[in-house]
Copies of this chain bind each other. A is one copy, B any other.
Amino acid sequence: MSRSNPRVLSTLERAGGFASAQEVYQLMQREGQSIGLTTVYRSLQSLVNDKIVDVLRRDDGEAIYRLCGETHHHHLVCKSCGETVEIEGGAIEKWALNVGKEHGFREVGHTAEIFGLCSKC
C-alpha cells in the first residue's frame, strides 16, 4: 500500500467540502500540477484507510471524499444536494455496543448514516 501524495491532501483541503477523485484530479490539472489520476485514487484511498478523510457516495454512485475531524461521528446527508451535517452519535454508540454484547460479540464496531431531504430541497 502506497503512501498518500501530500499534494492530494492539500488539494482536497483547498476544495472545501466534498470532492470526488475525478474532481481533485481536474483541480490539480487546472492548477498546473502534474499528477496521474491513479495516484489521486491511491492517495485518497490511503487517506481513507488512515481515517484522515471520510468517504461517502453521491446519488449517482461516485465516491466523494472530505477531510474529517478525528472524533468518531456520523453523517446526516441530503439525498438531493449532498449537504452534510456531522452528528455526534452518543445514543447510537451505546446501542451498537449493547446489541453486540447481548449477542456475545467482542470488538464491536458499527457504521451508521442518516439521509433525507434537507430543508432547502
Q: Decide if A1 is an interface residue (CB 8 Å cutoff).
A: no
Q: Are B104 and A92 in contact (CB under 8 A)?
A: no
Q: Are B114 and A100 in contact (CB under 8 A)?
A: yes
Known contacts A61-B57, A111-B111; is-contact A116 B100 (Cβ 8 Å): yes
Q: Are A108 and B116 in contact (CB under 8 A)?
A: yes
Docked CA distance A100–B95 (Å): 18
Residues of B within 8 Å of A57, CB to CB, are 57, 61
Question: What are 29 A-B pairs at a CB distance below 8 A?
Answer: A61-B62, A76-B99, A76-B105, A79-B107, A85-B103, A87-B99, A89-B95, A91-B95, A92-B95, A95-B95, A96-B114, A103-B118, A103-B119, A105-B116, A105-B119, A106-B116, A106-B117, A107-B116, A107-B117, A108-B114, A108-B115, A108-B116, A109-B114, A109-B115, A109-B116, A110-B112, A110-B113, A110-B114, A111-B111
